Structure 1
Amino acid sequence: KTYTKLSVVAIHSTFGNHTITKQDILDIFTSKKAPFPIYLDQHHKWFDFFNCEGTPHWILLTQNAEVFRSFYGSQENSQNRLYYAIEELLTDN
């Protein structure tokens, strides 16, 4: 299957009374800017919809809004998994 566009989004879900701000998340990045959209999921609606394993959760969507890859963003090697998934998509085209 050929894809011309890939979207990367992160979902950060909250459970119970714990809340997090966008600034809390941006503080994780050395540039203080997010390289992709981050959605604050206050009532874990999207967490449940995508059957996420943890939070933050990274989702790679094709141009047709199909999930290409999805994984827990704080797992060991998650950044490498993101790069490999993007590379796989690009080399398949």
Structure 2
Amino acid sequence: MNHAIFVVKIIEKPIHLICKEYQSMEIKVKFPAPRQKDSINKLTLLIWGNYKSDFINYYKAQDYLIIEGILTSQSSVNEVKVIVKKLYPFLLL
């Protein structure tokens, strides 16, 4: 299983997705990667359900989050996505 926990920074506004009766959001985030300059440090979060409404109400670009979820990737696009299972604020200011 590809279970992972990250501390990430939101870099863009969320994109709302509608697929049949399900609604979800995609959010672009990044995490620090100080060792290798050419490493991929951007992720796309997939959020739905109660976390979707909480995200809209409480978070904005440049906020930090602790996310827990399942990693997915597409080798043809070279993009990594995380299906969010839990979402926590980090560094409340």
State the TM-score, normalized to the length of structure 2. 0.29
Which has the larger helix fraction? 1
Q: Going by fraction, where is strand more abundant, 1 or 2?
A: 2
